[in-house]
């Protein structure tokens, strides 16, 4: 969309908050969009979002590995060779020997196409990085409320009387949402932050709750113990709109604040105070992030905090649940069906009516019904010889998965690895074929942010060399594989096709979306009258503390957790190619407590080796306000040589807890 006839509106390529940036196509100057959702604000990543686009490292031509090197080949030859290898592997080993990884970085249209290709090819082996991220929240929300997404729009945050921020550090990870929280605070809302360290977000907190890593269920249960025993819960809401209360009441009985203090390290008086303040506020939002989901107890962690909201009736216009989505289009990738257990719209594979309707739309009788492999299950499946070919779009598992040394080994075992990216990433270096994609501002399409707002992103400039938009590459792939229905000539044809998957979008045009301030689906505020469960009631679950997979011991006495910093983004492929961001942080560090620094004779700036059972990493030490016994590494610089790949029920690894040791070099 052209705004004022000159600047072009584009969705920020980084986080799931979903800011719009305005780009002047002549000067390439970036300014923030004044409307929803960013209201004239951008963080440093958004402000410098064009720097990686013009990096000299951009992929320009399709490449094929010959011996140890990559050689340039034509698009036609690349597509022909890739499709004949895929068909041959299907012929010899079946469709499930092929897996596809979709991308939370690319548009709805592109994710929709990739999952359509996978399913028409005959497999549900299609997944995206939601698996490493908020899939535990999706599972817990579906179990309790029936719908796996953020319940309320950002604007509701301004009107609540309390905000509980748990295992989530928006000041670094969704900086613009802080404005909404600040507005609430200015109107008198109490801000409570629960984390394992003093975070930047805590600058805004009325209550700073510093907890031992991995003990969140105990804290949540103790908060509920206080709320129930002091009669502070919303009896009417609990009675009319939920089931499972008596189970929860029994379940939290033993979790007194005094007991919880021993497990969590949080003062029992603070637990009581926080429980009372949050319960008496009358309305409240709960926002959470990776500190809860990236644990073997990920699903249960989220169930526990949803219970708090349900006990208090903080749903609808009295609050909301905010599992703040990570990547700019992770919510869209999920809604488009790029998940191995869901069809578009999070509809389960065994919903025969819907599945057959989608199949008919795609010109076939039926689609595969068995759940596909999770992204995080692929590596063992490759090492065991069950998966022979992998097609990756915009994902960098050689850096982003837990225990990456194992992943890198698996990547060498494939008969066929295709990587479609904008850079020759660490993962792409393992590939047999590398396909150059256009970056976000070199193509058009729609994206969905954390509040479920679908927004159109327009084209500013042409891609470099022979790079093509992902949707163009995927339309071609569908065609060369001989699949029906891939004759797209305009991206809007794909937009209007995916609209057919959703009752609230069916019949609307791409033009309508382009001329709107985005469309929130299914509607702005979920569950106001009833929940999306079969009986319309929310189901509460009692959950017991589940301890992390590894226990620190004499050999590995420390707890390692991995976090994000404002200036860098995930595997660093984009931000490490952005000079303005590199200036803000240029090298990897490990944060350690004053006590541990003293114990190990470490000074600020010393080089140390951090080791776990999986690998080791040399980092610069920085003394910080963290708990004794805990060390913290920003994950953007190869931290996953260290992390544990034990999975929770939703398939997310325990990226937030490893037993570790530290050696001064």
Ligand X SMILES: Nc1nc2c(c(=O)[nH]1)N[C@H]1C(S)=C(S)[C@@H](COP(=O)(O)OP(=O)(O)OC[C@H]3O[C@@H](n4cnc5c(=O)[nH]c(N)nc54)[C@H](O)[C@@H]3O)O[C@H]1N2
Are 330 and 16 contacting, i.e. CB atoms less than 8 angstroms apart?
yes
37 binds ligand X (CB under 6 A): no
> Which one of Mo ion, ligand X, ligand SF4, none interacts with residue 19, CB within 5 to 8 A by kind?
ligand SF4
- Residue closer to Mo ion (CB basis): 245 or 440: 440
Note whether 552 binds ligand SF4 by CB under 6 A. Answer: no
Interface residue with ligand X, options 96, 135, 307, 421 (CB under 6 A): 421
- CB nearer to Mo ion: pick between 157 and 375: 375
22, 30, 42, 126: residue in contact with ligand SF4 (rule CB under 6 A) = 42
Tokens coding 442: 């070199």
H or E segment and range at residue 120 = helix 108-121
Q: Which of 78, 176, 324, 343 binds ligand SF4 (CB under 6 A)?
A: 176
Q: At what angle do helices 135-144 and 298-312 cross, to 10 degrees?
A: 40
Task: Verify binding: residue 635, ligand X, rule CB under 6 A.
Answer: yes
Our CB check for ligand SF4 shows the closer of 44 and 282 to be 44
| Residue 350, CA atoms < 13 Å, CB-side half-sphere | 2
Element (H, E) at 164: strand 162-166
Per CB under 6 A, 591 contacts ligand SF4: no
| CA proximity to 337, closest of 326, 327, 348 | 348
Q: Does 650 bind ligand SF4 (CB under 6 A)?
A: no
| Strands, E assignment, 24-107 | 30-32, 63-66, 69-72, 98-101
138 binds Mo ion (CB under 5 A): no
> What gap in Å lies between CA 237 and CA 314, rounded to an integer?
9
Residue 627, interface with ligand X (CB under 6 A)?
Answer: no
Point out which span in 17-25, 415-423, 632-640, 643-651 binds ligand SF4 (CB under 6 A). Answer: 17-25
133 touches Mo ion (CB under 5 A): yes
CA angle 210, 216, 221 (to 5 degrees): 115
Cα separation, 228 vs 224, whole angstroms? 6
Q: Where are the alpha helices (DSSP H) in 212-297?
A: 216-229, 235-241, 245-251, 257-264, 268-280, 290-293
CB 97 within 8 A of CB 89: yes
Binding partner of residue 12 among ligand X, Mo ion, ligand SF4, none, CB under 5 to 8 Å per kind?
ligand SF4
Helix (H, G, I), strand (E, B) or coil at 249: helix
* Beta carbon nearer to ligand SF4, 44 or 557: 44
How far is the C-alpha of 110 from the C-alpha of 420, rounded, in Å? 12
Q: Which stretch binds ligand SF4 (CB under 6 A): 12-20, 553-561, 593-601, 616-624?
A: 12-20
Decide which of Mo ion, ligand SF4, ligand X, none touches 173; Cβ closer than 5 to 8 Å per partner kind.
Answer: ligand X
What's the first-to-final CA gap in the chain, in angstroms? 55
Contacts of 353 (CB under 8 A, 6+ apart): none
170 with 160: CB under 8 angstroms? Answer: no
Name which position in 14, 121, 168, 635 contacts ligand SF4 (CB under 6 A). Answer: 14
Give how many residues touch ligand X by CB under 6 A: 61
What's the min distance (Å) between Cβ of 581 and ligand X? 9
Instruction: Kindly tell me which residue out of 7, 8, 12, 560 binds ligand SF4, with binding defined by CB under 6 A.
Output: 12
> Per-residue x/- marks for ligand X, 139-178, CB under 6 A?
---------------------------xxxx--xxx----
Q: Does 175 bind ligand SF4 (CB under 6 A)?
A: yes
139 binds ligand SF4 per the rule CB under 6 A = no
If we measure between CA atoms, which residue out of 19, 15, 4, 53 comes closest to residue 459?
A: 53
Residue 664 CB coordination number (10 Å): 13
Report yes or no: 362 and 328 within 8 Å, Cβ to Cβ. no
Residue number, 248 or 581, with CB nearest to ligand SF4: 581
Residue 437 touching ligand X (CB under 6 A): yes
The yes or no reply on residue 58 touching ligand X (CB under 6 A) is no
Q: Nearer to ligand X by C-beta: 154 or 245?
A: 154
Q: Write the binding mask 401 to 440 for Mo ion: x where contact by CB under 5 A, - elsewhere.
A: ----------------------------------------
For residue 7, what are its two tokens? 């600047």
| Nearest distance, CB of residue 359 and ligand X, angstroms | 27
658 near ligand X (CB under 6 A): no
By CB neighbour count within 10 A (0-12 exposed, 13-18 middle, 19+ buried), where does 91 fall?
exposed
Residue whose C-alpha is closest to residue 591's, from 550, 552, 620, 557: 620
- Span near ligand X by CB under 6 A; candidates 33-41, 69-77, 260-268, 559-567: 559-567
Handedness of CA 252, 253, 254, 256 (dihedral sign): positive
Asked whether the beta carbons of 619 and 633 are under 8 A apart, the reply is: yes
Decide: is 326 part of the binding site for Mo ion (CB under 5 A).
yes
Q: Is 132 in the site for ligand X (CB under 6 A)?
A: yes
Tell me: does residue 395 bind ligand X (CB under 6 A). yes
With CB under 6 A as the contact rule, which of the stretches 188-196, 234-242, 458-466, 594-602 interacts with ligand X?
Answer: 188-196
Residue 19 in contact with ligand SF4, rule: CB under 6 A: yes
Helices 108-121 and 470-480, axial angle in degrees (round to 10) = 20
Binding site for ligand SF4 (CB under 6 A): 12, 14-15, 17-19, 38, 42-43, 45-46, 174-176
Binding site for ligand X (CB under 6 A): 15, 103, 105-106, 129, 132-133, 166-169, 172-174, 194-197, 199, 211, 213-214, 216, 289-291, 294, 326-327, 393-397, 400, 420-423, 425, 437, 439-440, 470, 561-564, 566, 568-571, 573-574, 635, 639-640, 643, 655-656
């Amino acid at each position: 969309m052209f705004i004022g006839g000159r600047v072009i509106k584009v969705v920020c390529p980084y986080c799931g908050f979903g800011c719009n940036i305005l780009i002047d196509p002549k000067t390439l100057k970036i300014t923030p969009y004044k409307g929803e959702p960013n209201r004239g604000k951008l963080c440093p990543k958004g402000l410098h979002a064009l720097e990686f686009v013009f990096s000299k490292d951009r992929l320009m031509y399709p490449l094929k590995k010959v011996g140890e090197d990559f050689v340039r080949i034509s698009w036609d030859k690349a597509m022909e060779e890739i499709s004949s290898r895929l068909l041959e592997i299907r012929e010899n080993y079946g469709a499930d020997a092929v897996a596809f990884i979709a991308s939370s970085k690319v548009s709805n249209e592109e994710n929709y196409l990739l999952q359509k290709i996978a399913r028409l090819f005959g497999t549900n082996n299609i997944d995206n990085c939601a698996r490493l991220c908020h899939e535990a929240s999706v599972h817990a929300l579906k179990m309790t409320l029936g719908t796996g997404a953020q319940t309320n729009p950002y604007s509701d945050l301004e009107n609540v009387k309390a905000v509980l921020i748990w295992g989530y550090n928006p000041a670094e990870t969704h900086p613009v949402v802080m404005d909404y929280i600040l507005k609430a605070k200015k109107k008198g809302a109490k801000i409570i932050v629960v984390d394992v360290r003093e975070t930047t977000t805590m600058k805004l907190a009325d209550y700073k709750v510093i907890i031992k890593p991995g003990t969140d269920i105990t804290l949540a249960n103790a908060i509920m113990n206080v709320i129930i025993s002091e009669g502070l819960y919303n009896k009417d809401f609990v009675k009319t709109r939920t089931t499972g209360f008596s189970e929860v009441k029994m379940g939290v009985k033993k979790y007194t604040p005094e007991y919880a203090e021993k497990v969590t390290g949080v003062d029992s008086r603070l637990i009581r105070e926080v429980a009372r303040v949050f319960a008496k506020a009358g309305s409240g939002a709960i926002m959470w992030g990776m500190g809860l989901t990236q644990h073997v107890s990920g699903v249960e962690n989220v169930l526990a905090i949803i219970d708090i909201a349900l006990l208090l009736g903080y749903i609808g216009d009295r609050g909301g649940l905010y599992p703040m989505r990570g990547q700019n289009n992770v919510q869209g990738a999920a809604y488009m069906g790029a998940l191995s257990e869901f069809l578009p719209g999070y509809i389960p594979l065994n919903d025969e009516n819907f599945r057959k309707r989608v199949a008919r739309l795609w010109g076939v009788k039926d689609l595969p019904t068995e759940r596909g492999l999770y992204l995080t299950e692929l590596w063992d499946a490759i090492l065991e010889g069950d998966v022979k070919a992998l097609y990756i779009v915009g994902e960098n598992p050689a850096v982003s998965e837990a225990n990456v040394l194992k992943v890198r080994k698996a990547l060498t075992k494939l008969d066929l690895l295709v990587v479609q990216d904008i850079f020759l990433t660490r993962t792409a270096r393992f590939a047999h074929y590398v396909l150059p994609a256009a970056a976000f501002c070199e193509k058009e399409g729609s994206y969905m942010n954390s509040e479920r707002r679908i927004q159109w992103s327009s084209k500013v400039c042409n891609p470099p060399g022979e790079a093509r938009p992902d949707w163009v590459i995927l339309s071609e792939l569908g065609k060369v594989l001989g699949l029906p229905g891939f004759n797209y000539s305009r991206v809007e044809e794909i937009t209007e096709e995916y609209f057919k998957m959703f009752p609230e979008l069916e019949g609307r045009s791409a033009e309508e979306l382009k001329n709107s301030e985005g469309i929130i689906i299914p509607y702005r505020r979920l569950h106001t009258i009833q929940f999306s469960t079969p009986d319309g009631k929310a189901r509460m679950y009692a959950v017991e503390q589940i301890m992390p997979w590894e226990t620190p011991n004499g050999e590995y006495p420390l707890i390692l957790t991995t976090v994000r910093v404002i200036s860098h983004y995930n595997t660093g492929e984009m931000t490490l190619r952005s000079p303005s961001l590199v200036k803000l942080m240029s090298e990897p560090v490990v944060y350690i407590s004053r006590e541990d620094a003293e114990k190990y004779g470490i000074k600020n700036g010393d080089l140390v080796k951090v080791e776990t059972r999986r690998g080791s990493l040399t980092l610069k030490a920085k003394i910080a306000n963290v708990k004794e016994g805990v060390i913290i590494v920003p994950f953007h610089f190869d931290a996953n040589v260290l992390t544990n790949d034990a999975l929770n029920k939703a398939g997310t690894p325990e990226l937030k807890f490893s037993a570790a040791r530290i050696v001064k070099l």
